[in-house]
Chain A
Amino acid sequence: MSSAGVVVIGVGNAWAGDDAAGLLVARIVRQRAPQEVTVVEHEGEPTALLDAWEGAQLAIVVDAIRTDGKPGRVEVFDATSHELPALWTATSTHAFSVAQAIELGRALGRLPRRLAVVGIEGASFSAGTRPGPAVTAALEPAAGRVLALAGA
């Protein structure tokens, strides 16, 4: 597919350990993706995602997940017409998780035409720490998955 109308949204907190994964993947994607791909780093409250993907043909949300899986594992989920798996919903430190923002968008008819979520399994989300080695090693493969999804 063409890369026009594609928005990549890296979600996370740069100062909460592995929670920075989505932001760091977005930075790699920004360097490699064609200009027509919009890349956004989103920290903080997820209801703003509804504005970030407004009008997009394809939105790819990249976020750390915590499902008791192996740290650094990269999972891709098509959220266009299905809710995220329940385990994916528990990663946000905020009142609204990314999964809830997606469901709010669905309820309001404000999802992009296609929506993919790339999750990177994290292990430590402590305040004031940097990502651990497993997540750091997963950033490149995760960025590769994002670029492939974006058709770049």
Chain B
Amino acid sequence: MSSADGRQTRTIRTDYLARVEGEGALHVRLRDGEVLEARLEIFEPPRFFEAFLRGRSFDEVPDITARICGICPVAYQMSSARAIEDAFGVEVDGPLRELRRLIYCGEWVESHALHVFMLHAPDFLGYESAIAMARDHRAAVERGLAIKKAGNELIAEIGGREIHPINVRVGGFYRAPRPRELRALVDELERARELALETVRLTGGFEVPDFERDVELVSLSESDRYPIDRGRLVSNHGLDIAPHEFSKAVVEEHVEHSNALYARIRGRGAYLAGPLARFNLNFDRLSSPAREAALEAGVGPRCHNPFQSIVVRAVEILYALDEAIRIIDGYEPPDAPAVALEPRAATGHGWTEAPRGVLYHSYELDDAGRILNAKIVPPTSQNQKSIEEDLLGLVQGMIDAPEEELQLRCEQAIRNYDPCISCATHFLRLHIARE
């Protein structure tokens, strides 16, 4: 319609954006063929957790922070444990480290399988939901559920239960599994591995928009392994830091429209964390089958199209299953289920690669091991700015597209990030306003 000043105006409004983890709000504002603004508005429970962790004992922190997210509790447990161990001057290595990596593989598998099949695939296959997709693509949905179940069972075996594992502690575990308990999982992991390989092929065949962005990619990196449980934080623009340098390198800012803090690299700007960043920065450290499957599916060693993140997630499922089987094959039980800890007054920093990207924790503790201050930076708040920049570029490139197409594409673009809005927000609603 026309406004009083003669400009062409249109308004698109969607009140609820489905198929993201949790809820939030998105506003896109257009005028005269130009995108003025794309804002992601989110509210952030981790900030509440930071407040009520104060005064708690260090050994409660992994179990409390696990409650921030029902999809990636292991990530919260591992990053918090790493940060507190850093404060106490302890490094968890050997079989205990392998066990941590193993349970983390379970989380990558279940979280990625949920996202690929239940949340993101419907966008590519033209369905409004996984329920509608299940009626026509039952085998694919069942495949996703079977892969997810294998991940959940791995978590349950090591963690004591599937969600919010109760066997993880600062310093290691309460009980280390016996080798035969882990070996009993291998058949199912092998079957899931075959399904993951099929998933890479399936997603590699999805039609994706021609859209690339030159954004700074940030992930953990180690010389000999694909990053999951530790590493330095690196980027394709020269970032290379240790955990205690995070707050110097990454600036967090309050913005008026969001309850979450916006992260950017100091002196530069938005960056992208998550599967696409890990994949680009660590391609040569994937397992051989995962690398080969990626190349056959048409991604790698470099991939800068965020819409291909669904393929990369499938590749990471395959890698996590390969890695889990490798760890179980070589598993020797540790002498003790956890290393001894001696609380001291100190500040510690830790990070790990949550399924959605690097998750940073920092804790200041007193000499009795009580929390004085906590800081938690989840991947979704780090990706907020990048999501908004994707939307700006995407909408500008299809500004004359019909409203419905534009709306669906925006939603799909947000889902490229698998935003864990329950980690970073409450409500996600989409408003596109043409002024």
Q: Chain A contacts of B141 at CB under 8 A?
A: 104, 107-108
Asked if B130 and A126 sit within 8 Å, CB to CB, the answer is: no
Compute how far the CA of A96 lies from the CA of B113 in the bound complex, rounded to whole angstroms: 13
A28 CB–B CB distance under 8 Å: no
Asked if A47 and B48 sit within 8 Å, CB to CB, the answer is: no
**Distance from B259 Cβ to chain A, minimum over Cβ atoms (Å):** 12
Q: Chain A contacts of B23 at CB under 8 A?
A: 93
Contacts A50-B145, A94-B22 known; A45 to B49 CB distance under 8 Å? Answer: no
B20 CB–A CB distance under 8 Å: yes
Chain A interface residue count, CB cutoff 8 Å, equals: 24
Q: Chain A contacts of B142 at CB under 8 A?
A: 108
Contacts A42-B163, A108-B138 known; A100 to B131 CB distance under 8 Å? Answer: yes
B182 CB–A CB distance under 8 Å: no
Asked if B49 and A107 sit within 8 Å, CB to CB, the answer is: no
Asked if B70 and A94 sit within 8 Å, CB to CB, the answer is: yes
What is the chain B residue whose CB lies nearest that of A125? Answer: B426
Q: Chain B contacts of A43 at CB under 8 A?
A: 70, 163-164
**Distance from A99 Cβ to chain B, minimum over Cβ atoms (Å):** 10
What is the chain B residue whose CB lies nearest that of A106? Answer: B131
B215 CB–A CB distance under 8 Å: no
Q: Chain A contacts of B67 at CB under 8 A?
A: 13-16, 127
B148 CB–A CB distance under 8 Å: yes
Contacts A43-B164, A94-B21 known; A103 to B148 CB distance under 8 Å? Answer: no
Q: Chain B contacts of A128 at CB under 8 A?
A: 45, 48-49, 52
Compute how far the CA of A51 lies from the CA of B153 in the bound complex, rounded to whole angstroms: 11
Chain B interface residue count, CB cutoff 8 Å, equals: 37
Q: Chain A's interface: helix, strand, loop or mixed, by majority?
A: loop
**A45 partner, pick from B114, B131, B138, beta carbons under 8 A:** B114
Q: Chain B contacts of A16 at CB under 8 A?
A: 67
Q: Chain B contacts of A1 at CB under 8 A?
A: none
Compute how far the CA of A47 lies from the CA of B130 in the bound complex, rounded to whole angstroms: 11
What is the chain B residue whose CB lies nearest that of A15? Answer: B67
Compute how far the CA of A52 lies from the CA of B173 in the bound complex, rounded to whole angstroms: 26
What is the chain B residue whose CB lies nearest that of A104? Answer: B131
Compute how far the CA of A135 lies from the CA of B257 in the bound complex, rounded to whole angstroms: 33
Asked if A107 and B131 sit within 8 Å, CB to CB, the answer is: yes
Q: Chain A contacts of B68 at CB under 8 A?
A: 127
What is the chain A residue whose CB lies nearest that of B71? Answer: A45
Q: Chain A contacts of B70 at CB under 8 A?
A: 13, 43-45, 93-94
Asked if B163 and A95 sit within 8 Å, CB to CB, the answer is: no
Q: Chain B contacts of A48 at CB under 8 A?
A: 148-149, 152, 162-163
Asked if B118 and A47 sit within 8 Å, CB to CB, the answer is: yes
Compute how far the CA of A104 lies from the CA of B144 in the bound complex, rounded to whole angstroms: 12
B19 CB–A CB distance under 8 Å: yes
Compute how far the CA of A44 lies from the CA of B64 in the bound complex, rounded to whole angstroms: 14
- Can you spell out 26 A-B residue pairs with CB atoms less than 8 angstroms apart? A13-B67, A13-B70, A15-B64, A16-B67, A44-B71, A44-B73, A44-B162, A44-B163, A45-B70, A45-B110, A47-B114, A47-B118, A47-B148, A50-B145, A51-B149, A93-B22, A94-B21, A94-B22, A94-B422, A95-B118, A100-B129, A103-B131, A107-B138, A107-B141, A108-B141, A127-B48
| Other A-B pairs beyond A45-B70, A95-B71, A127-B49, 7, CB < 8 Å | A13-B70, A45-B114, A50-B145, A95-B21, A104-B118, A108-B142, A127-B67
By Cβ-Cβ distance, the 8 closest A-B pairs, closest first, are: A44-B70, A44-B163, A127-B45, A15-B67, A107-B134, A93-B422, A43-B163, A127-B48
